[in-house]
Structure 1
Amino acid sequence: MTLSAVVSSADPSTSVEAASLIVSYLEALGVEYVFGVPGGAIEPLYNALAVSSRRGGPRPVLARHEAGAAFMADGYARETGRLGVCCATSGPGATNLLTGIACAFDNSVPLLAITGQPSLPLFGKRALQESSCTGVNTVGMLQHCTRYNTLISHVDQLENKLVSALIRASQPPHGPVHLSIPVDLLRSQVEQRLSPEHLKRLLVKPSLIDEDAIHTLFEAVQRSRKTVLIVGGGCGEAIDAIMHFAELTDSCFVTTPDAKGLINPHHYLYRGVFGFAGHQSAHQALSDGVSLTLAVGTSLGEWTSGAWSTSVLNHHLVHIDSNDEHLMRSPMAQQHVRGRIRSVFERLLDVMHIEQAALGLPWKPSRAHTDLAEVVVRAPDKREDMSSPIKPQRLMTELSNRFPPTTRFIADAGNSTAWSIHYLELRNRRMGLVPGMTMPAANSPTMHSPSRRGERRMDHAGWLRVLMDFAPMGWAIGAAVGIARGNPDYPVVCITGDGSYLMNGQEITVAAQEQLTVIFVVLNDAALGMVKHGQRLAGAEQIAFELPQVDFSLMAQSMGIVGHVIRSPQDFNDLDMGQILNRKGPTLLDVRIDPEEVPPMGLRMQTLDTAP
């Protein structure tokens, strides 16, 4: 149904202020928070949010920097499955959003960015912070990192362009959309022609299925002697169906780095992470006699394909995805299956059940349970090392063991990502797990608090969130706040480096102001660690990586936030974890890690053609 058809069938029009119309649409979609920094050109939107918050609708969360606001909206969207919304004033407010919007674009996160402009009659007159086409053109800047991007130049455009942006953000390939709105238009009266019910129907995700493709895939599965699944970061809402398929076909599976958090790392068919900072067992699983590889919901970029490894990109590959841009990266695959991943696997399972019932054949018995330690092969590590300064490997073990299974871990760009991908685990909740019995999926009710509006939760990012491809330092700090704001019932652990914290650490005060339980773990080695180790591995000049030795615990305390210094594993015993986990506010752990420990970054060095 077209927008014009829906509009014409809606209730008689009602005149409202444009800013109020925007906020009412967000409220209809279940958006609870708008992350941003106010300013003159965006003031009417904040006025509307003030009214909204008094009646229980969306309210503003004040970020310290606009990039932090975009990162918070990113985290909120990942946690809730709802649209992430951020806003900024004109000029530098809009340009400060750019990195966060680009990050959401490259990681397919649905996000609405709203920026202000001076009044239309002032365009071209050098108004303060003008950022139209006659000033610093922010719409032009955002053109290449948004799915929809427009300046609203007449109030009658507002509703149509707003709905167009919401539709584009909600459909694959997901990503950010941007509306630039002059302040006089935000104050103007506009006719509201679309009801909330019609709006919701427009944003329903498509579930089209190519039946021929499903049957071709089924036949390939039937013929396969050994099938291995690569579970990608886009599998969140489909993970239960994918795990059911793996168990029915007795197929082992690996994950890409950004999908590790979607699965139970103690599952008997799991073989580890494939790609950046991954496990040898995952590479082995994809190399030994594989006749069919199903790559599901993954971009097959540098970090998710093992630097375009031929063990994946070959004629055994079937690539399953809703995103055509991802499918373009696997032209050598024997088959592409386009469609919503959950619908594809539910239909594939239906076909399998029908075929098995017709033949009267029992399901293949699952292989005997194998302990995780025997199947996920890690690099030589120091997880049991009790020396000081603390080894990063040991730190990951401490974090794995000391936080409850409902914890959301989020790792920042750099060494934090590498150590987390390779060593961090969700606390084992198997309780006698046997073949055919899985842990609750990352998107099950037992892993998430009940929805406050009763809708089915979608597009979950799991217990560990990391970035692929476009990975800005400091993203995790803002995103952790957005995650905790979206779901304050569970603790959030942000693993970040001292370099990232010096960039964006001020956002910890947002967690304090919002009384959110976020534990910021700062890997403190007085260096840009990945730069330092990369230079050493490459035999390059050792330059421009040093940072000052900062006591981040004292910095936190100056902000009224509890901070601790961790120098050895024994120091964790002095922490009152119950108090930390129940505190309505953040805690900072300044962890003095061994600066000489090299993270598992060999794949990155290989790509840079500098591997020794």
Structure 2
Amino acid sequence: MMEAADLVVAYLEQIGVEFVFGVPGGAIEPLYNALARSARRGGPRSVVARHETGAAFMADGYARETGRIGVCCATSGPGATNLITGVACAYENEIPMLVISGQPSLHLLGRGALQESSGAGIDTVAMFRTCTRYSALISHPDQMENQLVSALLSAQQPTPGPVHLSIPVDVQRSQLKSGPSYDLAHLLQPGSAVDDAAVRQLQAQLAQAQRLVVLIGSGCGEAIELVIELVERMAAVFVVTPDAKGFISPRHPLYRGVFGFAGHPSAVAAMNDKDVDLILVVGSALSEWTSNGWSESLLNDRLVHIDSCEAHLTHSPMARLHVRGRIRPVFERLLRTLRRDSTKEIAVGEKRRFKKISADDPFKSPSAGAPIKPQYLMRELGWRSPPDTRFLVDSGNSTAWAIHDLAMHDHRPSAGGWMRVTMNFAPMGWAIGGAVGTALANRKVPVVCVTGDGSLLMNGQEMTVALTEKLSVVFVILNDSALGMVKHGQRLAGAEQIGFELPVVDFRLLAESMGIPGHVIRTAEDFESLDLDAILRNPGPTVLDVRIDREEVPPMGLRLKILGTAK
């Protein structure tokens, strides 16, 4: 015999989940009891967030780093609704996540019980249905195992995303006769279905292509080394979407930059090249930011779209060919042919686009005591961090500066990527919780969270979780006493200047009040004087309050163009 809550934890252990992120409460208490029992035997344990939204962000960061399902939980009512922003973010970014919320006992539903959120009142199951792959109320103990297994399978297949189970407290406590009946780890193994006929058509088109550009999207993580090999064997060039920059080395001689929000003119030029007769888009949904505002240079009959998700392929009806299938087996098939009979050579002798920032680089503040430039900060932060550093970048100005200017060492391909941003839903504060989840998932690598003062004021309390867990996370705060993207967007659009001001906050003092060491950085000289190596090795978090130049305009023209407000 075992409690239903212990069955949930047993399945999490079976699939390798180590942590459940959440905030406890009465309606979720049996699950926390099960996690306490699990922790004593070395199984999955709880990590207490400071706000449920932060818990969902942590589960997101954990899933991105490990490739496993992230798990978060909350009590009923406001606990569940607080999760929704983080869950919606995971849904838009196709991050696999199990979301568990509590409910009062079944016999109390519909009677005005405290924080009830069943269909008789505030219906959280219905709320989650719009931002999950699966959302259900478990109304009887006999449903528990089948509903849980169905939900976890839906989180991974066919398109990853969050799933939600609302479990009344008495159902969590109910006694079950046996433990897990399914080998869930086996059932969750990804399939390898590939449209072989489409692959053969693509092989024929590659054989005829004279000039090729490959746009690498966020779905390429598991196969990035194969995609790069195809680029090299075809003597092609490649560009990346903003959320895929972290998969590649920005110093690769065939790299032409980021195509999309805050991207590079060199990437646009590569896509606009009239001599290019074939463009491969690999693993991208072609949303606003990843398609450069649905650029005509991309969405035309030169396009071949490769993706495992049919919904993504519907975004490119003009493509000459759609290839549906997991990216890795598709490229394994393509490379078998290329390795056998390719006559093209890898391009050599091209100048590398990125170089080490020199003392007289224009991004550096021109005079002693001048505010530090965010471009300079991004470049130097990247160069001075170890090659295995994970960067999580928050929404707002932080995203724009990092996409455009964060440069790194010559990286080996990584399924998780060295730089992670959130597209589409893009909530402020995502990177703060995401960095905590990433650091818990992998204590062997440094983690850097690049965030803004607006995001920090929304979700900065989650830094104390990094302190509690002794995680090596550096929180780099771009502090301009403003909602920077709002401020600059209003100025560029000629709109009213309203609602962007923030108070001047000394985040070093805030951090020190939490027991976290902090530094205030006002100039390039201040940053250069930091012992960044020691900070990154510190077994605990550190805050860098960087007073960036408030007048430096981020590369956000694409966003204004889409909004129709650019002047």
- 1:56 deviates by 0.7
Q: Are 2:483 and 1:550 aligned?
A: no
Superposition RMSD on alpha carbons, in Å? Answer: 1.3
In structure 2, C-alpha distance between the alignment counterparts of 1:148 and 1:158, rounded to whole Å:
14
In structure 2, C-alpha distance between the alignment counterparts of 1:200 and 1:141, rounded to whole Å:
29
In structure 1, C-alpha distance between the alignment counterparts of 2:435 and 2:366, rounded to whole Å:
29
1:535 to 479, 484, 490: 490
- The alignment partner of 1:286 has SS state of helix
1:442 to 401, 410, 414: 414
- 1:290 deviates by 1.3
2:49 to 54, 58, 63: 63
Aligned 8 A contact 2:32 2:46 in 1: yes
2:388 to 402, 406, 414: 406
What corresponds to 2:245 in structure 1? 260
In structure 1, C-alpha distance between the alignment counterparts of 2:128 and 2:176, rounded to whole Å:
26
Amino acid of the residue matched to residue 199 of structure 1?
L
Q: Are 2:300 and 1:314 aligned?
A: yes
- 1:194 deviates by 4.1
- The alignment partner of 1:519 has SS state of strand
Q: 1:496 to 1:60 in 2, by over 3 A?
A: same
What corresponds to 1:163 in structure 2? 149
Give the alignment of 1:451-530 within 5 angstroms.
Answer: 460=416, 462-530=417-485
What corresponds to 2:358 in structure 1? none
What corresponds to 1:74 in structure 2? 60
Task: Give a deviation string over 1:141-180, Cα, whole Å, max 9, x none.
Answer: 1111000110000111110010001101111311000000
Give the alignment of 1:192-211 within 5 angstroms.
Answer: 192=178, 194-195=180-181, 198-211=183-196
- The alignment partner of 2:73 has SS state of strand
- 1:374 deviates by 7.5
Q: Are 2:115 and 1:129 aligned?
A: yes
- The alignment partner of 1:372 has SS state of coil
In structure 1, C-alpha distance between the alignment counterparts of 2:139 and 2:366, rounded to whole Å:
63
Aligned 8 A contact 1:20 1:48 in 2: yes
- The alignment partner of 1:145 has SS state of coil
Amino acid of the residue matched to residue 71 of structure 1?
F
Q: Are 2:377 and 1:395 aligned?
A: yes
Aligned 8 A contact 1:382 1:391 in 2: no
- 1:348 deviates by 1.1
- The alignment partner of 2:39 has SS state of helix
Task: Give a deviation string over 1:520-556, Cα, whole Å, max 9, x none.
Answer: 0000000000000000011000000000000000000
Amino acid of the residue matched to residue 403 of structure 2?
I
Task: Give a deviation string over 1:345-397, Cα, whole Å, max 9, x none.
Answer: 0111113334x1xxxxx64222223232279xxxxx94233542111111112
In structure 2, C-alpha distance between the alignment counterparts of 1:143 and 1:382, rounded to whole Å:
50
Task: Give a deviation string over 1:198-239, Cα, whole Å, max 9, x none.
Answer: 212211111012211110010111111111000001110010
Aligned 8 A contact 1:473 1:503 in 2: yes
- 1:574 deviates by 2.8
Aligned 8 A contact 2:49 2:465 in 1: yes
1:235 to 220, 229, 242: 220
**Unmatched 5+ residue regions in structure 1?**
1-14, 357-361, 376-380, 430-438, 444-459
What corresponds to 2:363 in structure 1? 383
- The alignment partner of 1:585 has SS state of coil
Select between 218-227 and 177-186 the one with higher mean Cα deviation.
218-227
Task: Give a deviation string over 1:71-121, Cα, whole Å, max 9, x none.
Answer: 000000000111100000000000000000000000000000000000000
What corresponds to 1:18 in structure 2? 4
1:244 to 229, 234, 238: 229
In structure 2, C-alpha distance between the alignment counterparts of 1:374 and 1:68, rounded to whole Å:
35
Normalised to the residue count of structure 2, the TM-score between the two structures is: 0.97
- 1:577 deviates by 2.1
What corresponds to 1:453 in structure 2? none
In structure 2, C-alpha distance between the alignment counterparts of 1:31 and 1:153, rounded to whole Å:
25
Aligned residues: 559
What corresponds to 1:366 in structure 2? 346
- 1:193 deviates by 6.2
2:404 to 422, 429, 440: 422
In structure 2, C-alpha distance between the alignment counterparts of 1:178 and 1:503, rounded to whole Å:
25
In structure 1, C-alpha distance between the alignment counterparts of 2:22 and 2:60, rounded to whole Å:
12
Task: Give a deviation string over 1:432-473, Cα, whole Å, max 9, x none.
Answer: xxxxxxx52113xxxxxxxxxxxxxxxx2x000011111000
What corresponds to 1:10 in structure 2? none
Aligned 8 A contact 1:386 1:569 in 2: no
In structure 1, C-alpha distance between the alignment counterparts of 2:105 and 2:71, rounded to whole Å:
23
- The alignment partner of 1:401 has SS state of helix
Q: Are 2:169 and 1:183 aligned?
A: yes
Q: Are 2:548 and 1:587 aligned?
A: no
In structure 1, C-alpha distance between the alignment counterparts of 2:284 and 2:432, rounded to whole Å:
25
In structure 2, C-alpha distance between the alignment counterparts of 1:93 and 1:42, rounded to whole Å:
10
Amino acid of the residue matched to residue 414 of structure 2?
A
Amino acid of the residue matched to residue 394 of structure 2?
D
Amino acid of the residue matched to residue 365 of structure 1?
E
Amino acid of the residue matched to residue 540 of structure 1?
A
Aligned 8 A contact 1:116 1:181 in 2: yes
In structure 2, C-alpha distance between the alignment counterparts of 1:302 and 1:411, rounded to whole Å:
19
Give the alignment of 1:63-142 within 5 angstroms.
Answer: 63-142=49-128
Select between 385-394 and 43-52 the one with higher mean Cα deviation.
385-394
In structure 2, C-alpha distance between the alignment counterparts of 1:271 and 1:611, rounded to whole Å:
26
Aligned 8 A contact 1:124 1:135 in 2: yes
- The alignment partner of 2:164 has SS state of strand
Task: Give a deviation string over 1:534-584, Cα, whole Å, max 9, x none.
Answer: 000110000000000000000000011000000001112332223212211
- The alignment partner of 2:130 has SS state of helix
Q: Are 2:274 and 1:274 aligned?
A: no
Aligned 8 A contact 2:251 2:354 in 1: no
In structure 1, C-alpha distance between the alignment counterparts of 2:153 and 2:43, rounded to whole Å:
21
Q: Are 2:558 and 1:603 aligned?
A: yes
Aligned 8 A contact 2:3 2:175 in 1: yes
- The alignment partner of 2:5 has SS state of helix
Aligned 8 A contact 1:159 1:192 in 2: no
